[in-house]
Structure 1
């Protein structure tokens, strides 16, 4: 069934990153100054829905930079490392300068350590899920460092910019690269090298790839994991080729797995917002905020931040949002549903 499991890992990037040539070129152009040794460029913002290839594209360009220049790179998961000390510690680890970093380590000390770790050739720091940062002012701090190029990856660009405005975290994001959902044909191109390398030949037929792509709704993550799960389902039922019913089961299993993983990554405040919404049922922001504040007490964040949490949960299809502005309502998406936002 499987020839190579690793090609289905999220971190695996093929030699040719299909369907994102324009975005790859735009990111490479935006980082041209640091690649040529002319200094750090303006910060770059990559935005688009989950599964649109933002992180894979960033990995691809970072690898090319490291292979062809002396520029160092650091890719940080800001969802997991959302506290300032965690973000700085992850950057230092990526730069090979890991040391003792504790929650009480002064902010200025951490900034100085990152600055001192920056080589003369410069460094590109990519903050994936940058809208998860507890203190978006950290972006400003990194951008102000000599020789540091900042790339932020977010799902919702308007929401991200609104939060920066609310917190006075001024950064000149003139370089913005949007990522749209993939077309079915593009998803087939993404699946093909994984199928040919990772699956036995009878499991990698083109019509199978088309069936998976048609059900993934433009999300490459769902398509890739759906293909893997489809092959597993076919194997479990002693079939020598993937059938439509295997794809149906595989996509459903992939969506459920992705949701479980996303829920496991929720920060404390996000988790509480999700839990109170599940208890309340369909509700407006004000109702969710009041219940959240009652639950969390003095440690509660403001209403705007709770709105950010709901937007993040919606972008990952854990929560459905309906309506506009003041009339918008939110509800938890039933775990059995396989449709994707």
Structure 2
């Protein structure tokens, strides 16, 4: 088998990869460590809410600190991405599956039974649950149920600082003492340091220059994940061309390939959000009429009806993505396609 010329460890560039050292997030690291530290002495830890734009290190650092803690303390642990597993059943099933060493039959089991399994598993031992993209939850009751379990510490992750705003007041009350930690965009020089680190662990020495990494860092717009993805694509392209080094033209060709396009945004929408855009394709509409139209179309397509709070969360997401424009307030709020 031919020896690789560029990439020595492809895992370094994968989204799930957790580095052995964390750069330029010292305050966030210390905050999460301090919040979880009581677990080491058998006390209840503090719930945590992490927010910041995509690619600012939220998920990576949360997993890093939990892995670090579990080397000293035998806590149960589950990670769930609520964008992919947004229903209450799927979330509880994933948590119970991660907490249990035995097989759990998915078919025929209820949410209450899954909660019972989780509660039994945390008797005498603490559990840590990371809910990534928690504002995508379709059933916020699940969050209330998990907060009711004294042996569970939640780490909630969102791109939005106001993610808790639309949740039930009882949930907000239970999270009133949570530590809210901000992850700002990385500076260009900070992304450069991260890319140098990934270069050291993932690429063969001498295959990419500092000036090329500076070009990638500048194109990353504060998003470390974007920068790492550009470097990954450039590395693969160089190997496909049978090059010994990554060239400048390969770097330039790789930058537009990063999935940050309108199509990528549309592909990431759930069925309800896609229906909303379909309705707004014809004409602008006020909030009330849009909600009614969405309910009608949902029923025709065999989707469950959603509550008003969920509708508002979906609209906020579409506005944040730049796919929908909003004007006015309250019942007079009007939406149109961007």
The two structures share one fold, judged by TM-score above 0.5:
yes
Report what 1:194 is aligned to: 198
Aligned residues: 325
2:215 is the alignment partner of 1:211:
yes
Secondary structure of the corresponding residue to residue 31 of structure 1: helix
Instruction: State the distance in 1 between where 2:249 and 2:285 align.
Output: 36
Report what 2:274 is aligned to: 271
Instruction: State the distance in 1 between where 2:334 and 2:270 align.
Output: 23
1:107 to 1:236, Cα distance in 2 relative to 1, 3 A: closer
Q: CA RMSD in A?
A: 2.9
1:328 to 1:55, Cα distance in 2 relative to 1, 3 A: farther
Report what 2:225 is aligned to: 221
Per-residue CA distance 1:200-249 (angstroms, 9 max, x = gap): 33433211111111111111111111111123344555655444443333
- The 10-residue stretch of structure 1 (169-178 or 212-221) with the greater mean CA deviation from structure 2: 169-178
Q: TM-score when scaled to structure 1?
A: 0.83
Query: How far apart are residue 275 of structure 1 and its match?
Result: 4.4
2:36 is the alignment partner of 1:31:
yes
Instruction: State the distance in 2 between where 1:292 and 1:242 align.
Output: 49
Query: How far apart are residue 330 of structure 1 and its match?
Result: 5.5
Report what 2:78 is aligned to: 74
Instruction: State the distance in 1 between where 2:328 and 2:45 align.
Output: 36
Query: How far apart are residue 263 of structure 1 and its match?
Result: 5.0
Report what 2:3 is aligned to: none
Instruction: State the distance in 2 between where 1:194 and 1:264 align.
Output: 29
Per-residue CA distance 1:41-81 (angstroms, 9 max, x = gap): 23211111111111001110111011121222211112222
Q: TM-score when scaled to structure 2?
A: 0.84
Instruction: State the distance in 2 between where 1:293 and 1:117 align.
Output: 39
2:6 is the alignment partner of 1:4:
no
Report what 1:338 is aligned to: none
Instruction: State the distance in 2 between where 1:8 and 1:231 align.
Output: 10
Conserved 8 A contact 1:222-1:254: yes
2:146 is the alignment partner of 1:164:
no
Instruction: State the distance in 2 between where 1:22 and 1:294 align.
Output: 48
1:271 to 1:218, Cα distance in 2 relative to 1, 3 A: same
2:17 is the alignment partner of 1:15:
no
Report what 1:337 is aligned to: none
Per-residue CA distance 1:296-317 (angstroms, 9 max, x = gap): 13833244423312333455x4
1:285 to 1:193, Cα distance in 2 relative to 1, 3 A: farther
Query: How far apart are residue 284 of structure 1 and its match?
Result: 6.5
| Structure with larger Rg | 2
Consecutive unaligned residues in structure 2, runs of 5 or more = 1-5
